[in-house]
């Protein structure tokens, strides 16, 4: 019996989908992927590049009240939180696999905006006179510091020495 192009195309598509899902599932399980869904800062330091940020957080003033996700993920909705977490996970894994990231690592403008929004969500009433005419704004790509952390550099990631 002769198979049609449609059947062959379907078989190839099914095989490639199976390989992709199998490889992805294997990678997720062997890399303890469920840990990345947690709120544990130890997960963030599992990448050697994050050691300095983790050590800085342990010495910073927010250590007792905030973990990585509290500052670096949006609070607006569970969907937004999962979307940013997945996007960051993809970007981080790609950058670390290909070894094409800046050292020291830099926050991207979109993530800086999430950070700024979270600063204002927690401290809005304290800084309402400062932000009454608009937020502090997020600097352009390439700048070292953004918004609130332009002045408050040691709040989230303090000095490690």
Query: In this structure, what token pair is assigned to residue 86?
Result: 């997945």
Domain ranges of the chain: 31-150
Give 13's pLDDT tier (boundaries 50, 70, 90).
Answer: very high
Cβ atoms of 141 and 108 closer than 8 Å:
yes
pLDDT at 74 > cutoff 70: yes
pLDDT in tens, 111-134: 988 998 899 889 988 887 777 766
Question: What confidence score (pLDDT) does residue 133 get?
Answer: 67
DSSP 8-state code for residue 48:
G
Q: Which fold has domain 31-150?
A: Multiheme cytochrome fold (1.10.3820)
**Dist CA 45 CA 105 (whole Å):** 13
Give 15's pLDDT tier (boundaries 50, 70, 90).
Answer: very high
Closest CA to 72 of 85, 61, 91: 85
Q: Say whether 105 sits in a helix, a strand or coil.
A: coil
DSSP 8-state code for residue 143:
-
**Dist CA 119 CA 117 (whole Å):** 5
DSSP 8-state code for residue 4:
P
């Amino acid at each position: 019996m002769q198979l049609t192009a449609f059947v062959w195309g379907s078989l190839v598509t099914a095989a490639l989908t199976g390989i992709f899902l199998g490889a992805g599932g294997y990678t997720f399980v062997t890399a303890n992927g469920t840990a990345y869904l947690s709120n544990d800062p130890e997960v963030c330091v599992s990448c050697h590049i994050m050691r300095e940020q983790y050590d800085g957080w342990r010495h910073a003033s927010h250590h007792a009240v905030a973990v990585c996700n509290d500052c670096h993920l949006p609070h607006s909705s569970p969907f937004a939180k999962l979307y940013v977490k997945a996007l960051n996970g993809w970007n981080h894994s790609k950058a670390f696999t290909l070894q094409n990231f800046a050292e020291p690592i830099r926050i991207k403008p979109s993530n800086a905006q999430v950070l700024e929004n979270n600063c204002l969500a927690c401290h809005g009433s304290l800084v309402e006179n400062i932000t009454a005419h608009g937020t502090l704004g997020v600097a352009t790509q390439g700048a070292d510091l953004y918004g609130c952390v332009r002045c408050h550099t040691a709040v989230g990631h303090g000095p490690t020495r």
